[in-house]
Amino acid sequence: MSTDPVLLLERALAQVRPLIAGVRDDQLGAPTPCASWDVRTLIEHLVADLDRFTTTATGGQPDWSAPAPAVADPVAAWDEGAAGLLGAWRRAGDLTGTIQHPVLGEIPARFPVDQQLTEFAVHAWDLVTATGRPADLDPGVAEAALAWARQVMRPQFRGTEAEGRAFGPEVPISDDAPVYDRLAAFYGRRAG
């Protein structure tokens, strides 16, 4: 399995596209495992993340407080945004060193890419769960995401949405559960 972070990100992005394309209009208002988001909001968040993450990849500082805009054609927006994000990371060059993070201090240069692939892996599971569609999700992406998350998740990042936290407390799950269910549980989501 490749450990190249950009190739792993490409695989994470590739598996989200058919999930978005397969959402029916009658599913857009369905709840998701993401606290207060429905399927439409989750898709808009994913598309907005492509733009925000591209800003990060090009050395900028995205506005994380800006709401995700409505998206008229989610698949076209996904295709354009995913191509832009991958292109930005390919142009970024060597990701083997370290960089300074404003909150975390010195971190591996590949940290933002690993964070992004984890975001897309978790939200792929969210979309599959919300729509009830069977999906052939890439286990290598989830394994990489879970390994990264176990290294960086700190207790202060966990809590409730009311507390302004994006990640809930880890949910107990069997070590032999499917890897995407283990990843979701690590981020405070419950399978089935």
Is 127 inside any structural domain?
Answer: yes
Note down the domain range covering 130.
5-186
Euclidean distance between CA atoms 138 and 178, whole angstroms: 11
Six token digits for residue 114: 């690993």
Is 179 inside any structural domain?
Answer: yes
Q: Tell me the CA distances in angstroms from 151 to 114, 144, 146, one per residue in order.
A: 11, 11, 9
Do the Cβ atoms of 113 and 95 come closer than 8 Å?
A: yes
Question: Number of folded domains in the chain?
Answer: 1
The CATH number of the domain where 135 resides is what? 1.20.120.450
Q: What is the pLDDT of residues 106-156, one digit of tens each?
A: 888 899 999 999 999 999 999 999 999 887 899 999 999 999 999 887 777
Is 191 inside any structural domain?
Answer: no
Determine the pLDDT at residue 5. 93
Record the pTM. 0.92
Do the Cβ atoms of 114 and 150 come closer than 8 Å?
A: no
Is 119 inside any structural domain?
Answer: yes
Is 49 inside any structural domain?
Answer: yes
